[in-house]
Structure 1
Amino acid sequence: MMNKRRLGWIGVGLCACALSSFLAVSLYMRPYRNLIKLTEAVEVLRENCIYVEEDWEPADLLMSQLLASIGDRYTYYLSLHDAEDFSALYETGGVHVGLGMEVVATRGGLRVGEVEVGSPAMMAGLQRGDIIQALDGKQVQNLDQIQGFAPDQLVELRVNREGRQVVLRARAQEVSDQKEYVIHALPDGLVYLRIRSFMQQGMEQEILTHLRAKEGEIKGLLIDVRANPGGRLDAAVAIAQAFLPEGSVIVYGEEKGRERETITGGSETPLAMPVVILQDEESASAAEVLSGALRYNGRATIVGQTSYGKGTMQRVHRLSDGSSIRYTCGRYYLPDGHSIDKTGIPPDVQAPRDASAPGWALSEERDLQQKKAQETLRSLCRLD
Structure 2
Amino acid sequence: ENSPAEKKGIQIGDIFSALDDRPTLTMSLIETHLYLKDREKNLLRIRILRGSKTEEITIKRTLLFKEPFSYTLKENTGGLLKIHHLYPPCVSKIKEKIIPRLKIQKKALILDLRNCHEGDIEEARKLINLFMKAREIGYFAQKNGTRQILSCPQNPELEKLRLIIWTNQATIGAAEIVAGVLKEFKEAKIVGLTTPGLVAKQSYIPLENGDGILLTSGIFYLKSEKTLWKKGVEPDIKITEKNPNLTSYLKRSLSY
| TM bin (shorter chain) | 0.7 to 0.9
* Residue of structure 1 in register with 2:91 after alignment: 204
2:127 is the alignment partner of 1:243: no
SS in 2 for 1:270: coil
2:8 is the alignment partner of 1:126: yes
Deviation at 1:201, TM superposition (A): 2.8
- Structure 1 or 2, whichever has the larger Rg, is 1
Deviation at 1:159, TM superposition (A): 3.4
Pairs within 5 Å for 1:26-37: none
Deviation at 1:188, TM superposition (A): 3.9
In the alignment, is the contact (CA less than 8 A) between 2:196 and 2:230 conserved in 1? yes
Change (3 A) 1:233 1:334: same
* Residue of structure 2 in register with 1:143 after alignment: 33
Letter in 2 for 1:146: L
Pairs within 5 Å for 1:1-384: 113-115=1-3, 126-127=8-9, 129=11, 131=14, 133=16, 134-140=18-24, 141=29, 142-150=32-40, 155-160=44-49, 165-170=54-59, 175-176=62-63, 178=65, 179-188=67-76, 190-198=78-86, 200-219=87-106, 220-245=108-133, 247-257=134-144, 259-271=146-158, 272-348=160-236, 350-355=237-242, 357=243, 359=244, 362=245, 364-365=246-247, 368-376=248-256
SS in 2 for 1:214: helix
Letter in 2 for 1:254: A
Deviation at 1:226, TM superposition (A): 2.3
Deviation at 1:308, TM superposition (A): 1.6
SS in 1 for 2:227: coil
In the alignment, is the contact (CA less than 8 A) between 1:353 and 1:369 conserved in 2? no
TM-score (norm: length of structure 2): 0.81
Structure 2 unmatched runs, 5+:
none
The superposition leaves residues 27-52 of structure 1 with CA deviations (integer Å, 9 ceiling, x where unpaired) of: xxxxxxxxxxxxxxxxxxxxxxxxxx
More helix by share: 1
Distance across 2 between alignment mates of 1:249 and 1:287: 18
Change (3 A) 1:163 1:207: farther
TM-score (norm: length of structure 1): 0.56
SS in 1 for 2:146: coil
Change (3 A) 1:148 1:248: same
In the alignment, is the contact (CA less than 8 A) between 1:278 and 1:370 conserved in 2? no
Deviation at 1:161, TM superposition (A): 6.4
The superposition leaves residues 291-349 of structure 1 with CA deviations (integer Å, 9 ceiling, x where unpaired) of: 1211111251222233222242211122234432111111111121221222222222x
Deviation at 1:136, TM superposition (A): 1.7
SS in 1 for 2:98: helix
In the alignment, is the contact (CA less than 8 A) between 1:180 and 1:197 conserved in 2? yes
Change (3 A) 1:304 1:156: closer
SS in 1 for 2:216: strand
Matched residue count: 245
SS in 1 for 2:79: strand
Distance across 1 between alignment mates of 2:198 and 2:249: 22
Deviation at 1:243, TM superposition (A): 0.7
Deviation at 1:155, TM superposition (A): 4.0
In the alignment, is the contact (CA less than 8 A) between 1:243 and 1:299 conserved in 2? no
Distance across 1 between alignment mates of 2:153 and 2:254: 26
Distance across 1 between alignment mates of 2:59 and 2:116: 25
Letter in 2 for 1:257: N
Change (3 A) 1:259 1:313: same
Change (3 A) 1:265 1:171: closer
Q: How much is the aligned-residue C-alpha RMSD, in angstroms?
A: 2.8
Change (3 A) 1:320 1:279: same
